[in-house]
Amino acid sequence: MELTLSILLGFMIIGALFSLHAKDLLSAVIACGIVGYSLVICFLLLRAPDLAIVQIVVETITLIIMVAVVLNSTREELKVKIDTRQIINISLALLFIVVLFFFFIQATDMLNPFGEHTLRMASAYVGETAAKTGSANLVTGIVFDFRGYDTLGEATVLFTAALGVLTILRLKGKK
């Protein structure tokens, strides 16, 4: 299990690196799809079918939007000259990475090893959701009953994003 996940994650890292270094913007966008669709397989391996269904549809729609944006614009990648600013940026990135890695190692030491129970809330949720909400799918029960505010906030964010896109992309004003 852990080995399969490691191989998939390595595949995702290679896809992400290729996507960031691709010469053509269209191939960069499609290589980003490698990462998204591998995520679907990871969700299936980690016993989360709800997330797998959502992710596979959402990734397709994201790809459609990104390809629609990239297709009619300049597709070739900018020429990267190695100047002082680029060197400063890369060294800054490496510094960030080392510092963050140190703190990540310290933080994950407190977690239980992979595949063991980590959150104490889980048993309460698993035990009581079905009896209190009457929903056989525990995830739906949590999303719409115990964490209703979360869902309301999500719907508001979606509404605001749609309004923002409408506002940004309007060329002709209303008379």
Min dist CB 152 to other proteins, Å, is 7
Give the number of other Cβ atoms within 10 Å of residue 151's Cβ. 13
Q: Decide: is 27 part of the binding site for other proteins (CB under 8 A).
A: no
Q: In sequence order, which residues have a C-beta less than 8 Å from that of residue 142 and are 6 or more positions away?
A: 125, 129
What's the closest the beta carbon of residue 78 comes to other proteins, in angstroms? 5
The residue written with tokens 């010469």 in the block is: 23
Report the residue from 24, 99, 128, 151 that binds other proteins according to the rule CB under 8 A: 151
| CA distance linking residue 60 with residue 37, whole number of Å | 9
Residue identified by tokens 């597709």 is 75
Taking the C-alpha atoms of residue 123 and residue 85, their distance in angstroms, rounded to an integer, is 52
- Binding map of other proteins across residues 46-85, x = CB under 8 A, - = no contact: xxxxxxxxxx-xx-xxx-xxx-xxx-xxx--xx-x-----
Output the smallest distance, CB 12 to other proteins, in A. Answer: 6
Task: Give the C-alpha separation, 4 to 97, whole Å.
Answer: 26
Site for other proteins in 92-121 (CB under 8 A): 92-93, 96-97, 100-101, 104, 108, 111, 113-119, 121
Query: Is 34 an interacting residue with respect to other proteins (CB under 8 A)?
Result: no
* Count of chain residues binding other proteins (CB under 8 A): 108
